[in-house]
Amino acid sequence: GFTSLTELVLDRCPKLVSLLVGETKDDGIMEVGLLPPSLEELWIHTFPENLQSFSPEGIRSLKRLILIHAPRLKSALLHSCTGLEELRITGCAQLAVLDSLQFLTSLRSLDIKMNPELSSEWDLKLQEQEQGGNQIQLLPPSLDKLVIMALTDSFQSHLLPCLPSITVLKIHRSPELTSLQLRCCTTLKELEIEECVSLASVEGFQFIRNLTSLKVSGSPGVASWSELVSHQQGASEIWSGLETLWISDASVLCMPFCKQLTSLRHLQFGYWGRKQGESVVSLTEEQEKALQLLTSLQELKFLRCPELSSLPANLHRLTSLKTLSIMHCKSITRLPDMGLPTSLRCLKLYNCSEELGIQCRIAATEKLTVMIDHQDVN
């Protein structure tokens, strides 16, 4: 009866989900739920144990659908959600049927955690599609953003060539992935790789000419790969357009590489993934010199670097820097002896040492705003 309701969040209420969304009976038939057709956003966390099929019939206004932790869910039929723009599915270990995505012509963002059954099913369809035996596309051409977990080598080799217009690709927690093939993803603007511990090579990176953001964490093999790429022909054209760089391994900072980062505005050191891994311990003298070449840098962040004991000594030479953030870095006890850049306008600390906090409070001025643990100290 809530004919104007546009957003519904059911967070860990499985019995309520059965009532509102529908419940699968012993004969496999799901009863019709009570969801209003006006819904534009539906978020469900924790489905009832016996729910095996999900089909939100009659919600044609739905734009955002998030399904989390449905341990027995085997099929999700979304053919009626023709206005869907964003879809997120995770924690569905038995999901094997996810059909009709190709008919969702407004779908722009897909965030999904794969499982062996779904990967095998999609991989088979993609191979048939490549061979011309299946003319129906697996995913709609409108898809602009893909966030995917548990990606494997075989599946990605067939999946990524089907996404020629994608601009945002985020690959998370894919321990089996050893090689990434980006030759067809020439429109990519943002690439994010997190906790891909076996990833050792990225093919076709030289064809990505529009990349503005690169974020890598918990994937040690990518550091050596990016250093190798920086010396390849045409690499300078790619790196010169990069505006954001997040890295957990400072070894990629070298003089040749930093010379090419002429547009870099945001740089983050440290580990930002789900699990704590190896992080920046210290910057070598060469790395500190390379850092000075980033003349466009406006924001510098150190995140979860528990072993980092000091900030770069020549930090004051970053004359374009406006924001400095230091978060979860307990071993840093003081600001650089040479001071901070005169261009700095915001200094943020969170969960750092008391000694560093005292120094930052003293550094606060009318021009420099200092925030400690989200509190403005000016």
87-135 residue pLDDT tens: 999 999 999 999 789 889 999 999 999 999 999 999 888 888 777 755 5
pTM: 0.91
pLDDT at 31: 55
pLDDT at 86: 98
Structure tokens at 15: 């019995």
Q: What is the pLDDT of residues 313-364, one digit of tens each?
A: 999 999 999 999 999 999 999 999 999 999 999 999 999 999 999 999 999 9
User: What is the rounded average pLDDT of the residues 221-249?
Assistant: 76
pLDDT at 235: 67
What DSSP state is assigned to residue 220? H
User: What is the rounded average pLDDT of the residues 203-214?
Assistant: 89
pLDDT at 343: 97
If pLDDT is split at 50, 70 and 90, which confidence band does 55 have?
Answer: confident
Query: What is the Cα–Cα distance from 145 to 88, expressed in whole angstroms?
Result: 11
User: What is the rounded average pLDDT of the residues 66-75?
Assistant: 93
pLDDT at 23: 58
Residue 228 has pLDDT above 60, yes or no: no
DSSP output for 342-355: TT--EEEEES--HH
Please give the share of the chain, as a percent, with pLDDT higher than 90.
60
Query: What is the Cα–Cα distance from 378 to 348, expressed in whole angstroms?
Result: 12
| Cα-based angle 209, 195, 163 (whole degrees, multiple of 5) | 40
Query: Residue 196: which of 217, 210, 214, 212 has the closest Cα?
Result: 217
Most confidently predicted of 3-17, 24-38, 208-222: 3-17
- DSSP, collapsed to helix, strand or coil, labels residue 241 as coil
Residue 272 has pLDDT above 80, yes or no: no
Residue 250 has pLDDT above 60, yes or no: yes
Structure tokens at 91: 């924690």
110 phi, psi to nearest 5 deg: -125, 120
Query: What mean pLDDT, rounded, does the chain reach?
Result: 88
Where residue 46 falls (left for φ over 0; alpha for ψ -120 to 50; beta otherwise) is: left
pLDDT at 21: 76
Choice between 234 and 236, residue whose per-residue pLDDT is larger: 236
What DSSP state is assigned to residue 173? S
Residue 205 has pLDDT above 60, yes or no: yes
Query: What is the Cα–Cα distance from 119 to 297, expressed in whole angstroms?
Result: 41
Query: What is the Cα–Cα distance from 28 to 48, expressed in whole angstroms?
Result: 14
Choice between 192 and 53, residue whose per-residue pLDDT is larger: 192
User: What is the rounded average pLDDT of the residues 222-229?
Assistant: 65
Query: What is the Cα–Cα distance from 269 to 305, expressed in whole angstroms?
Result: 8
pLDDT at 22: 62
Residue 29 has pLDDT above 70, yes or no: no
If pLDDT is split at 50, 70 and 90, which confidence band does 279 have?
Answer: low
pLDDT at 70: 93
Choice between 333 and 51, residue whose per-residue pLDDT is larger: 333
In this structure, the number of other CB atoms found within 10 A of the CB of residue 289 comes to: 17
In this structure, the number of other CB atoms found within 10 A of the CB of residue 304 comes to: 20
Q: What is the pLDDT of residues 150-166, one digit of tens each?
A: 999 989 988 988 888 89
Residue 283 has pLDDT above 80, yes or no: yes
Q: Measuring CA to CA, how many Å separate 9 from each of 35, 38, 75, 152?
A: 12, 14, 21, 32
SS3 content of the chain, % helix, strand, coil (to 5): 20, 25, 55
User: How would CATH label the architecture of 247-377?
Assistant: Alpha-Beta Horseshoe (3.80)
Give the position of tokens 């409070």.
Answer: 361
DSSP output for 133-146: S--S-SS-TT--EE
Q: Are 310 and 330 in contact, with CB atoms under 8 Å apart?
A: no
Query: Which amino acid is it at 261?
Result: L
Query: What is the Cα–Cα distance from 21 to 304, expressed in whole angstroms?
Result: 41
pLDDT at 25: 60
User: What is the rounded average pLDDT of the residues 246-254?
Assistant: 84
- State the Cα torsion 25-28-34-38 to the nearest 10°: 160
